[in-house]
Amino acid sequence: MTAAALPHVVDAATWQRHLDDLRAREKAATRELDAIAAQRRRMPMVEMPEYTLEGEKGPVTLADVFEGKSQLIVYNHMWFPGETWQCSGCTGFTSQFTRLEFLDAYDARFVIVTQGPIEDALAYKERTGNKMTWYSTANSAFGSDVGAPPGGGFAVNVFLRDGDTVYRTWHTNGRGTEQLTHTFALLDILPYGRQEEWQDVPEGWPQSPTYSRWPSSETIAATYGPS
């Protein structure tokens, strides 16, 4: 690292002025996110047909997945048949969620649903040290119906239950999932950011090919798995 890759050094008063300018934009972004969340709360919903998924203890209906809660967040985990290591992005994303009990106070639950057979999914969960609850939609159209078909990408879907009737209220994929992770929030406040080549950075800042700094599934398993 060279001097060219360092921020300018200024006096405290100048630094504070720059921070105040940035803070104004940060506050505006916070207010915009509040407005987006308010619009999300006013979204209509669509009734879902009945689905049967596979859980650790056998077949369950989609309504059963709520386990008595009224709200459900589902992460649709990518799955590639026959592969030892699944998507590193999905593996890394879901490895962050180890303490979800706080959702109980909000009458909500957060689970993983994958296209992989339940036996394979649970084996992968064990291998990688994942702490979330997994379900399989391998024998159901559920994944395809919510934007995560076999061979397709990942997705986040949110559902609301009224008795035995389930409604879909929200969906996102791609970078829309970033709001659910602390990874990028922490990286984005660092002086050098995510250090990915697509980002707008000052000249001389360290940059690497996109995804190259992300941990592999093997690394995640070595860090959190049983071995």
pLDDT by residue (tens digit) across 38-52?
Answer: 999 999 999 999 999
What fold characterizes domain 46-177? Answer: Glutaredoxin (3.40.30)
Q: Is the pLDDT of residue 142 over 80?
A: yes
Residue 12: its pLDDT value, please? 98
% pLDDT > 90, the chain? 95
**What is the pLDDT, as a whole number, of residue 121?**
97
Angle between helix axes 118-128 and 217-224 (nearest 10 degrees) is 70
In the predicted model, what is the mean pLDDT of residues 168-173?
98
pTM given for the model: 0.94
Q: Are 137 and 48 in contact (CB under 8 A)?
A: no
Residue 3 in this model has a pLDDT that exceeds 60: no
| Mean pLDDT value of segment 168-195 | 95
Distances from the Cα of 109 to the Cαs of 67, 135, 199, in angstroms? 8, 13, 34
Q: For residue 2, what pLDDT is reported? A: 56
Cα–Cα nearest to 51, from 110, 115, 137, 148: 137
> Over the range 31-47, which residues count as b (16 or more CB within 10 Å of their CB) and which as e?
eeeeeeeeeeeeeeeee
